[in-house]
Amino acid sequence: MNSRQLFLSTLKRQSVMRPPVWIMRQAGRYLPEYRELKKKYSFRKMVENPELATDVTMMPLRRFPLDAAITFSDILVIPEALGVPYQFDNERGISMERRIQSANDIKQLKTDGVVEHLSYVFETQRLLRQELGDSKALLGFAGTPWTLAAYMVEGGGSIHYETLKKMAWGAPETLEALLEILSKVLIEYLREQAHAGVDAVQLFDSAAPGCPGAFYENWSLKWVKKVIEGLKGEVPLIYFVRGMGNHLPRLADIGADVLSLDWTLELPKVACQLDGKVGVQGNFDPVLLCQPPEIVRSQTRILLDEMKGVPGYIANLGHGILPQAKIDAVETFVDTVTSSG
Amino acid sequence: MNSRQLFLSTLKRQSVMRPPVWIMRQAGRYLPEYRELKKKYSFRKMVENPELATDVTMMPLRRFPLDAAITFSDILVIPEALGVPYQFDNERGISMERRIQSANDIKQLKTDGVVEHLSYVFETQRLLRQELGDSKALLGFAGTPWTLAAYMVEGGGSIHYETLKKMAWGAPETLEALLEILSKVLIEYLREQAHAGVDAVQLFDSAAPGCPGAFYENWSLKWVKKVIEGLKGEVPLIYFVRGMGNHLPRLADIGADVLSLDWTLELPKVACQLDGKVGVQGNFDPVLLCQPPEIVRSQTRILLDEMKGVPGYIANLGHGILPQAKIDAVETFVDTVTSSG
């Protein structure tokens, strides 16, 4: 059974010899070869050029025996395709060229031709499928409607989501119109990724912890479910969320194939709570990959032992790998999982 | 029944007409009179001078009909008393004069005379008790051992707690020695606050979300329980934590009188889960107090309705008030609670 078969079987919650393993943001700044390439090209250039994006995607797979590649891209390609471009700035972080603040701003979004505009993503995925063949799984991803709306309404990254929540409480119909558009576009976008050859897609709900508990359903989950329904039978879906551990029993029923969960949770207990209704992915502390190899090895073994035999378990971190992660720690982590079967 | 009686009855989970209300960081930067005073004095000066600290503590009570005052102070007075001073810098945030990195660093902590060194805190509390009389509740507070250790080992605030976790995984006996010292000092410190006249103390576990789920018990809760046991029968205790919603059933049994919880939780459901074993405080979204009064009023009423009749409920935010909170929003929030009985 090769990596791809292992990954696909796990998505179906079949019994396998060991969990598949990949790492969120595995093609990222902790890799010297990534930092080297980044000196020559901007982030957007690397995302938008299929050859470069393919090369970056493959970087971690050339070093580590990972079971899956994840398409090098960004969740902000969707706002960009809708006419709200983003840019990175080392000091200010992510910023959008403009903010969505009114029904009129929403009307001006370029909702036609979004998928055509994003053809470079699918081209990258077709190149990747060729390069990976049948041996490794290929993943695609996108942000959830709520998380994309957060960037578009706030005009960039945010800690408190003040502007977004002002809209959510004060002009809910405006926010809903935006979430509706994003849900529809996401379904088309992720469907096209499936056609281009991805084995599964991951939806990142990074802005979910900004939802007050009573609004998580209406502001985010409801729209995630719409996307999942729209993709039913087309491609397996992993839902990533952090800081929402208290909503777990409900998350088992949103229709996702796998829940990707953060390090504050006790994953073996969570797996019991979820009662086999959905797979789980995670939840190693990203800080673990900044530690010496012997600590990485022992901590990885502990969680693997606890999760042994849990169907649908995918080994991963609880959040993206940190830029300061150490190569030998990553190596130890991946080797410990792949040699555990 | 005055504010203090209401607060004390609520701590005992007795039936009351309405929940008492106070706001975390209620004496803070959102108040123009606080910002004005801050131009004249440094933060540490305001904390360490009993007359100034009393004045700042009283500021929000002069504006709003709050049920409790919380002593103006900082969790870092404990590291300072142990010989690890702190300072604030508008750009770098909090930094400590040095880092605790080894058993030797720990040996050099000034563990004798900590309570004497902190006499200014108790003096402030005696002044406040005089000023408040029997009409309002007075609260004291401290950081948990884990949270204080985080500042001392990281040498300031931290996002990922890399250095702290390196110690926790790599040299657990060193971290335990530090947590042991902090637990003992905290018991003495909070006992002395009770003698000075506080009606309850709140333990802030701001660094708890840095704990991987499997280590939350050993790194933080175990030491919180030691502090609670050491104070049993002396003063009611509120335990504040955020981002650890999935650990709730366990939190009901740590011995705290009240759990102060964050906005990602659905408080009415949580109250059911806790089954009356412990009171709950919270959990309005701090961002709510940046909204127009009509939104504040309607959202406050919704949660109050849902929590009606839940014994041991204290209305508060799910985290500290934001510097950009609006005075009319705070006013509306407090008025809505106090007029609900």
Distances (CA, A) of A162 to A91, A213, B291: 21, 16, 9
- Report the alpha-carbon distance of residue A247 to residue A269 in Å, rounded: 14
User: Does residue B95 belong to the interface with chain A, where contact is any CB pair within 8 Å?
Assistant: no
The DSSP result for A38-71, as a single string, is HHHS-HHHHHH-HHHHHHHHHHHHHHS--SEEE-
Q: What is the reported pLDDT for B87?
A: 87
pLDDT tens string A217-263: 999 999 999 999 999 999 999 999 999 988 988 999 999 999 999 99
- pLDDT tens-place string over residues B73-107: 999 999 999 999 998 877 778 899 999 999 999 99
Contact flag A287-B243 (C-beta cutoff 8 Å): no
CB contact under 8 A, B295 and A170: yes
> Measured between CB atoms, which of B166, B169, B263 is closest to A212?
B263
Best residue in A285, A294, A295, A322 for a mutation probing chain B (most B CBs within 10 Å) = A285
User: pLDDT value at position B92?
Assistant: 76
Q: Which residues partner with B139 through β-bridges? A: B70, B200
Burial of A134 (0-12, 13-18, 19+ CB in 10 A): exposed
A90: tokens are 């080392």
B248 touches chain A (CB under 8 A): yes
Q: What are phi and psi of B232, to 5 degrees?
A: -50, 130
Rounded Cα gap, residues A287 and B159, in angstroms:
11
Pick the residue of A160, A167, A287, A304 with the most B CBs within 10 A to test the interface with B by mutation.
A287
Determine the pLDDT at residue B8.
98
Which two structure tokens, joined as six digits, stand for B277?
């074993």
DSSP letters spanning B88-151: EETTTEEEESS---SHHHHHTS--TTHHHHTHHHHHHHHHHHHHHTTTSEEEEEEE-HHHHHHH
- Distance, C-alpha B94 to centroid of its chain: 17
Nearest to B266 among A214, A299, A322 (CB): A214
**Contact call for A264 and B214, based on CB within 8 A:** no
- The C-alpha of B78 sits at a distance from chain A's nearest C-alpha, in angstroms, of 27
CB B25 within 8 A of CB B59: no
A246, A288, A318 member nearest B265 (Cβ): A246
Q: Residue count of chain A, please give it.
A: 341
Is residue B323 within 8 A of residue B28, CB to CB? The reply is: yes
Task: Round to whole Å and give the CA distance between B235 and B245.
Answer: 25
CB atoms A160 and B267 under 8 Å = no
Mean pLDDT of residues grouped by 10 in chain A (341 residues)?
97 97 97 97 96 98 98 97 89 89 96 96 98 97 98 95 97 98 98 98 96 97 98 97 90 97 96 92 98 97 96 97 98 98 82
For B263, the closest of A213, A288, A303 (CB atoms) is A213
Q: Within a 10 A sphere around the Cβ of A226, how many other Cβ atoms? A: 19
- Does B160 sit within 8 Å of A213, measured CB to CB? no
The reply to whether omega before A283 is within 30° of 0 (cis) is yes
Gap between the Cα atoms of B61 and B292, Å rounded: 22
Dihedral sign for Cα atoms in the order B239, B240, B244, B248: positive
For residue A182, the tally of other CB atoms under 10 A from its CB is 28
pLDDT of the residue at B269: 94
Q: What pLDDT shows up at residue A87?
A: 87
Those residues with Cβ within 8 angstroms of residue B88's Cβ, 6 or more apart along the chain or in another chain? B42, B43, B44, B94
Of B206, B266, B307, B332, which to mutate for an interface test with A (greatest number of A Cβ within 10 Å)?
A: B266
Give the residues of chain B that fall short of pLDDT 70: none
Residue corresponding to tokens 């959990």: B283
pLDDT at B249: 84
Do B231 and B266 form a contact (C-beta atoms < 8 A)? no
CA B330, distance to chain mean position in Å, is: 19
Q: Which amino acid makes up residue B136? A: K
Specify the amino acid at residue A181. Answer: I
CA distances (Å), origin A161, targets A179, A209, B79: 16, 10, 33
Closest CA to A226 of A259, A255, A249, A248: A255
Under DSSP, the state recorded for A28 is S
Cα A264 to Cα B161: distance, rounded to the nearest angstrom = 14
Q: Is B246 on the interface with A (CB under 8 A)?
A: yes
Q: What pLDDT score was predicted for residue B91? A: 75
